[in-house]
A and B are shown apart, each in its own frame.
Chain A
Amino acid sequence: MKRKLSLLLALVLALALFMTACGSSKDTATNDPEETEQPTETGEGDEETLEPPAEPMGQLIIGNTTEMSGEWLPYFQNIASDYDIWNFINGYSTVAITFDGEYVVDTTVVKDYKVTENEDGSKTYTWTIADNLVYDDGTPITAKDYVASALLWSSQLLGEMGGSNSYGLYWKGWSEFSKGQTNVFAGVNLIDDYTFAITIDASNLPYFYELPMVSVGPTKLSYWLDETVDIADDGEGCYFTVDINAKNPDGSLVYAEKISAAKSNPFYPASGPYVVKSFDATTKTAVLEVNDKYVGDYTGQKPKIKTIIYKLVNQSTQFDELATGSVDLLPENGSGDAINAGLDLVEQGGFSYSTHPRSGYGKIHFACDFGPTADVEVRQAIAHLLDRNEFAKSFTGGFGSVVNGPYGEAMWFYQETKAELNQKVNQYPYDLNKAIELLESAGWTLNANGEPYKEGDGVRYKRTEDGKLMPLIIEWASTENNQVSDLLVVKLQQNPDLAKAGIQINQTTMTFPELINWMYRDKSQGAEYAVPTYHMFNLATNYSPWYDLSTEYVTDPDMVAAGYNTNYIFDEELERLSKEMVLVDPNDREGFKRKFVDFIVRWNYLLPDLPLYSNIYHDFYNDKLQNWKMNSNVDVTQAVLYAWVTE
């Protein structure tokens, strides 16, 4: 027995050595590092590689630090990498976004369209789609597929399953349809095989971003429900011929199981440039092959890379993966450490990088309705007491910038108004004297005994309307394990000039959900949260090209109570400007820009937030990737469409 055991152990060890030896053999890997390593010395590539191939070729492995779930449908979760795959396999929307962040009608998809202004103030877009569009399996795409998206992704069924059924929320009759109060979607009409109409509800007009409101893509209904479900229109709007909201005797939804099964299957019907070939849940890797039936994006661009592999990588070893050829592209690196590691690799040769500014920033978020931060001068004084350029440099390792308002630097309207804005906005340079001057102008002129404040008195005080003394002590809620918080402690809270100015900041560290409870003053989570307690929070925000802040600074008490305006800033001018900016005709670009500048100038004066840093994202890739042009207006899938690889 013992001899047998010894023999078994010896065999196991021998097997391990054998596996190791076998494992290093090239025939087990189709993308062996030695095969993919490019000896190119510069990051520019050869002249001959600058020409795109006539047919899709090669393979691109994209490393991503966010895990994919394998369910690409974006209405049930918001995992960024899943959404990338969704965008790879879905195309043919009526409206596209350009690299400049502007919305345009996709003329590859739309053969003709008509805009009608209705008597009730609503507006109807009648789309006639091209007749050469098909799914990857060859099934023709018709108007019914577009109407299917409108109905299915706005249905009560989706909402009851825990999904977001807001697909058609700007359209007439969406509210009633999505709640199951009617089975007819009044704002969606099926006209013929290739024509359908979408009507924007009058309450949503006028609106600068009108085009994205009427953006619709195709959905293959037979995949998501079944062949028995059809769509009809008797002239009052579209409806399903079968009640998809129906329930079984036990209360469960009849079609829920079907939709769950369909969304769990990674092989959705594809209308986009790529088709999912495989998804491995154990390694979180998706393989996509080019959809040879795809006719192109809004410019007619078709993919030039045959195979895309989306692979999970670890932040600490991702550049080892790039160096060894396990991945070809690492997009959107924002931290200084990662960027420096990437630049080291570029220096060694064989690798390149491109940069683009983040459309968003890390910030101090003020509560502007109570305590010291209710005074705009206090918020401005804090801005003067934090060297934001130094902060951004420290946090991003020198790969970041400072913005002075709520915008992204790649936005077209910022680019076109940049010079004017730079003249009009306050940069809040580091200035102790200016900070003290601001505080004194706001009445922070007393010490703890109510006597005139003089240097060395510690915290400043101000006499409030009820005659009490209010100290200039700011309660700060910060999240745990947060590098921004750590840096804020050093650069702001422990800054000796802060004490000289008579300001004290007390930090309380908590989990993010708890911070959110305090910020929303959410009494449903506990009575204590309803009491305004914290004056500032450190958070981050991102902006999409659909730039609409009209509900961010509302003053209506009901909306504030519902969780809008988490800055609790009640400034009617700011509210008016944030709304006026988007309530313009979509063709009035100049009007939009003018109002954008007015809004930013007012915002910059009031400082509901103090932007701290905006990253400069770095995309690192090996030299086989050509024509990589990414920016924050588009997603990685759009950039891939215009790139190619050399093998």
Chain B
Amino acid sequence: MGKYVAKRLLYMLFVLAVMTFVLFFLYNLIPGDPARAEVEPMKHRLKPEEYQYRYEQARKRLGLDDPLIVRYGKWVRNLLKGDLGISKVYNKPVIEVLKPPLKVTVTVNIFVTIFSLGITIPLGIICAVKKNSKFDKVVQVFTIVGYSLPVFIFALLFIYAFAVKLRWFPVSGMKTPNFSGTPWEEFKDMMHHLTLPLIVLIIGSLGGMTRYVRAAMIDALSMDCIKTARAKGLSEKVVIYSHAWRNALLPVITLIIGWFMSIFSGSLVTETMFVLNGMGKIYIDALNNQDYNIALAIQLFYIVMAVLGNLIADLSYGIVDPRVRVNK
């Protein structure tokens, strides 16, 4: 087991090394001159020689005169020291820029994950057990609708209904400006602001997971072992939750782990609509503003999360199903 994990970790390092190389070179192939962008606002006020001097200093400071491979080497060296570079837009370290959005995204996603899994798993199981019943059909229709409609439609509708018309919730944000209170009051204020985005995110994620759990459970319920369990006279509850769910869990676990890993991933649409300063929004802003150090850092972070998620999923299979447990 230890050897397998070590091998996978080595493989992860290799993947990361390759990806840093590919991403760094891709981003640096995009046309643009950060040094010129930096000194451009001063251009009309500076004499030509002063402008040129400052332009050259900026190129030197940003390391733009070095060959690409040298720049890559320096970037990797800094990366290993935890230095992800400087944001072009904010002119401060990338890590400093990314801390607040990461906090927002994780906060929001923890709630979304808990609620989504809490709703979709029981719902999927019930639909499978009551396959083709009226309840199942109604849920199927709603999940299809939820699955098909873009999230921003829900966002706009909910804002109009619950914020503009009914005024139950604020239109955007995470807390009331200039609000101060006890930690509990602040938490309540945050939840008041987050209710609408949470509902939108949860609705957006219900369809896929519910249908996936339902399909896995239907497969599991048709297995011979389930027939045997029923023939043995076990109660339906034990058959469903102990025998069938255990068998259905194997395909579902990939999604569940993916969901937990996605706690760090932002939702571009929801964050933009509700003005939440999260990872999705900052990523698209970074791309739009050509702030490539930020974009590169976020992509690398997601790659790390993806390969880590794969490893955890593989190890989890063994826990759920001893037949695929890795012993070497």
Residues in A lying within 8 Å of B, measured CB to CB: 2, 6, 8-9, 12-13, 16, 19-20, 22-25, 27-31, 33-34, 59, 61, 67, 69, 71, 76-79, 159-160, 162-164, 166, 169, 175, 179, 260, 264, 277-278, 280-285, 287, 307, 309, 311-314, 316-317, 320-321, 323-324, 326, 510-514, 516-517, 520, 522, 524-526, 548, 551-552, 556, 558-559, 562-564
Contacts and interface: CB of A to CB of B under 8 A. Distances in A.
Contacts of A162: 38, 58, 61, 86, 91
28 contacts: A6-B122, A9-B118, A13-B115, A20-B168, A22-B191, A23-B188, A25-B192, A28-B181, A29-B170, A71-B90, A78-B41, A159-B54, A162-B38, A166-B45, A283-B177, A284-B277, A309-B177, A313-B275, A314-B272, A316-B273, A317-B172, A321-B172, A326-B170, A326-B172, A513-B30, A513-B290, A514-B31, A551-B43
Given A169-B50, A264-B92, A320-B171, A282 B100 contact: yes
Interface stretch (B136-144, B157-165, B228-236, B294-302): B157-165
B169 interface: yes
A259 to B, nearest CB: 12
Contacts of A71: 90-92
Given A22-B188, A551-B44, A13 B118 contact: yes
Interface in B105-119: 114-115, 118
A283 B36 contact: no
A12 B115 contact: yes
Given A13-B118, A287-B177, A317-B171, 14 more contacts: A16-B115, A19-B188, A20-B195, A23-B189, A33-B167, A59-B178, A166-B45, A309-B178, A314-B273, A314-B275, A323-B164, A551-B43, A552-B44, A562-B52
B77 interface: no
A632 to B, nearest CB: 18
Contacts of B89: 69, 77, 79
Contacts of A76: 91-92
B241 A23 contact: no
Nearest to A71: B92
Given A12-B118, A164-B41, A324 B32 contact: no
B50 A563 contact: no
A324 B169 CA distance: 10
Contact of B48 (A16, A282, A323, A558): A558
A160 B53 CA distance: 12
B288 to A, nearest CB: 9
B104 interface: yes
A33 B169 CA distance: 10
B48 A28 contact: no
Contacts of A22: 188, 191-192
A6 B97 CA distance: 40
Contacts of B97: 69
A320 B173 CA distance: 13
A36 to B, nearest CB: 11
B277 A282 contact: yes
B30 A511 contact: yes
A414 B301 CA distance: 53
A138 to B, nearest CB: 24
B41 A285 contact: no
Nearest to B32: A513
A285 B177 contact: yes
Interface residues of B, number: 74
Nearest to B195: A20
Interface string B34-59: 00111001111110101111100110
A634 B1 CA distance: 68
Contact of A317 (B53, B104, B273, B285): B273
Contacts of B46: 166, 169
Contact of B195 (A19, A317, A551): A19
A448 B241 CA distance: 82
A511 B172 CA distance: 31
Given A283-B277, A309-B177, A311-B177, A324 B170 contact: yes
A312 B44 contact: no
Contact of B178 (A31, A520, A562): A31
A333 to B, nearest CB: 17
A34 B188 contact: no
A31 B167 contact: no
A320 B103 contact: no
Given A59-B178, A69-B92, A2 B241 contact: yes
Contacts of B272: 314
A324 B171 contact: yes
A24 B172 contact: no
B185 interface: yes
A278 B91 CA distance: 21
Nearest to B100: A281
Contacts of A78: 41
Contacts of B193: 23
A1 to B, nearest CB: 10
B83 interface: no
A563 B36 contact: yes
Contacts of B32: 511, 513-514, 516-517, 525
B31 A563 contact: no
B8 interface: no
B176 interface: yes
A619 to B, nearest CB: 19
A21 to B, nearest CB: 10
B192 A564 contact: no
B33 interface: yes
Contacts of A278: 178
A181 to B, nearest CB: 11
B276 to A, nearest CB: 8
Contacts of A526: 31
A77 B88 CA distance: 8
A320 B92 contact: no
A28 B179 contact: yes
Contacts of B178: 30-31, 59, 277-278, 287, 307, 309
Given A59-B178, A287-B177, A513-B33, A164 B42 contact: yes
Q: Which of A16, A278, A287 counts the most B-chain CB atoms under 10 A from its CB? A: A16
A6 B44 CA distance: 68
Contact of A30 (B54, B159, B179): B179
A283 B175 contact: yes
Contact of B173 (A16, A69, A260, A285): A285
A324 B54 contact: no
Interface string B65-95: 0000000000000000000001001111000
B174 interface: yes
Nearest to A281: B100
Contacts of A313: 172, 275
A28 B36 contact: no
B219 interface: no
B96 interface: yes
Contact of A19 (B44, B61, B192): B192
Contacts of A29: 170, 176, 179, 189, 192
Nearest to A551: B44
Contacts of A13: 115, 118
B167 to A, nearest CB: 5
A520 B189 contact: no
Given A19-B188, A520-B36, A562 B48 contact: yes
B33 A522 contact: yes
Contacts of A564: 43-44, 48
A6 B245 CA distance: 14
A9 B33 CA distance: 53
Q: Which of B57, B115, B177 counts the most A-chain CB atoms under 10 A from its CB? A: B177
Contact of B163 (A283, A324, A552): A324
Contacts of B90: 69, 71, 77, 79
B43 A24 contact: no
Contacts of A164: 41-42
Contact of A324 (B53, B99, B164): B164
